[in-house]
Chains A and B, each alone.
Chain A
């Protein structure tokens, strides 16, 4: 059902936890739907200097959170925002069709953390997507907490 890489990340998740006084926080999902993710980031020189996640959910949800933090760590924010659910799923060697929404959640939590960073800063760079309406449409879970 799951690829070896999903199992590996589920068994040994990277960057678990919550950063103290983070520069950005992104929380998506909903316990009612059975999955919820919280990503916290520290930003230095425009890069994701540190990142942690906390996830409630299935193996796919935990593995996608873990690999998303790995993909984002050390990257400039402008690049990190380009991490999409397709890229997350690809990096894990694919996901079963009914688990694809998990990769969406992980990418979305990261994007929300980056947006939160700029929101707090009072800046909004050109490359940062302005609204999340297009994401909300794709997200089967409907309700979100940003």
Chain B
């Protein structure tokens, strides 16, 4: 038997890297100064956050002064959309997003839609891809922002961001990219992507929760998000979360150094899991793009059974995964991503997502391949709709 849990939900969150934790702990105890204070303890903290700013900038190919610390991916997305919307109101009120964005973008756009802005939601194909041509066609003289995610958190499809970025650069329309799933897990640079704003979350790259960043390209006009003490060039007020910022910086530094070496082993394990599941279980469907996908993501729909019961059965075997079924979304609707990709609801209810990380082993994947088919069989035997 394997010890502990087998954690296959790295798209939800990742464990904090031991070196990140060590680096952070100093800033809880000995060096507790406020970076905005003038005495040495404050100055020390200020230089720590500036070092972290450089580490974040280095990972995404930006300049340090283009990095603004936030409380996480959700705040970064909220700020990008609201900040650009209200800074560009006089120019226009039209915003374009995709229909498979994270709720942090989707619900913020919806809110803006109720407050005088006009939102276009672009469709995706059956693999979750946005067509850059659809972006081009949706552009209007009053379009003030386009927001498309880099990789989808549920199905792992990687969007054609550089192509979209080129179109928007030509038209001079600001481009926000939610890169929460890719930063630190998949190589990227803001110049290659051609984006003007990019959301980062620390806890998806082995950093702490509650800290993130928004990249804002120099020259982009954006409204401030938090008003108060004038931190972050008077754009995002609030006392600096020093341990969090240091943790994010360290996580970015580690990712820059080690990520390239982790991608292939993770992809190999994912392939092993995929092949194992498809050879052992009948009537399974792969969600997302077969090639253009995050190396660590395997999303499937298992016919005739429901996602939450699979998830809980796997949990009883100490395997952590997630699902986009209605029962796990807390509503009666299955995942908006799977529905936008054209999956019928009865298929989407049977979705299950495995997302691997740097600490997963072949032994763990073998164990999952041993228990998962038994779980599927047990639930299918119980199901009135599956007969084989």
A: residues with CB less than 8 A from B are 7, 10-11, 13, 16, 18, 27, 31-38, 54-62, 98-99, 101, 140-141
Contacts and interface: CB of A to CB of B under 8 A. Distances in A.
Interface residues of B, number: 26
B346 A32 contact: yes
Interface stretch (B51-59, B63-71, B364-372, B377-385): B377-385
Nearest to B348: A34
Contact of B332 (A10, A11, A31, A33): A33
A56 B308 contact: no
A33 B345 contact: yes
A36 to B, nearest CB: 6
B383 A54 contact: yes
B116 interface: no
A35 B384 contact: no
Contacts, number: 71
B330 A98 contact: yes
Nearest to B308: A58
Contacts of A13: 382
Interface string B190-222: 000000000000000000000000000000000
A35 to B, nearest CB: 7
B316 interface: yes
Given A36-B385, A38-B384, A140-B332, A56 B304 contact: yes
Nearest to A34: B349
B316 A56 contact: no
Contacts of B325: 34, 58
Contacts of A98: 330-331
B154 interface: no
30 contacts: A7-B312, A11-B316, A16-B381, A18-B384, A31-B349, A32-B345, A33-B326, A34-B306, A34-B327, A34-B332, A34-B345, A34-B346, A34-B349, A36-B384, A38-B384, A54-B382, A55-B383, A56-B304, A56-B305, A56-B306, A57-B306, A57-B309, A58-B306, A58-B307, A58-B308, A58-B309, A60-B327, A99-B327, A101-B332, A140-B332
